[in-house]
Amino acid sequence: MITPLNLPKAPLKLTKKDETVFVWCELRKKKLVLTPEEWVRQHVIHFLNIEKGIPFGRMVAEYSLTYNGREKRADILSFDEAGNPQLLVECKAPEVTISSETLFQIGQYQKILGARFLMLTNGLEHYFGGFNEGELVPIEELDLND
């Protein structure tokens, strides 16, 4: 279940009860069952905090939103210093291929949330995008100061 990822090693706090592995989520302040998608999400949270300097207090995991009358959840949403949506992240399990469906999903959330940057990842492949005059433009490296 624990696939090596193409992300920096994260200081995750793992525990085990019976045969179930749990991970401590710094954003939700609770233990969660360590699924493959949660493994990716927790690594991304620590990557954003350690490598990109986003404080835990400016990130939310499983951010609730309503799209076409249905409740949805964005995997990670970070906010800038003014409290505006800055980065929207969609995480998939390592075995899930990033596809046009994934891009469509994050695009739906983006219409509602209006984040300046997007990140799609399965922990192995990462895709970043930014908005230039309302158009999504692929970017090589995530620089939140642009």
The confidence score (pLDDT) of residue 137 equals 86
* pTM score of the predicted model: 0.94
Q: What's the rounded mean pLDDT across residues 14-20?
A: 96
Q: Which of 32-36, 66-70, 104-108, 142-146 has the lowest mean pLDDT?
A: 142-146
Q: What's the rounded mean pLDDT across residues 3-22?
A: 95
Task: Please name the CATH architecture into which domain 14-139 falls.
Answer: Alpha-Beta Complex (3.90)
Q: What's the rounded mean pLDDT across residues 77-104?
A: 95
Q: State percent of the chain over pLDDT 90.
A: 79
Q: Are 1 and 21 in contact (CB under 8 A)?
A: yes
> How far is residue 141's CA from residue 2's CA, in Å, rounded to a whole number?
26
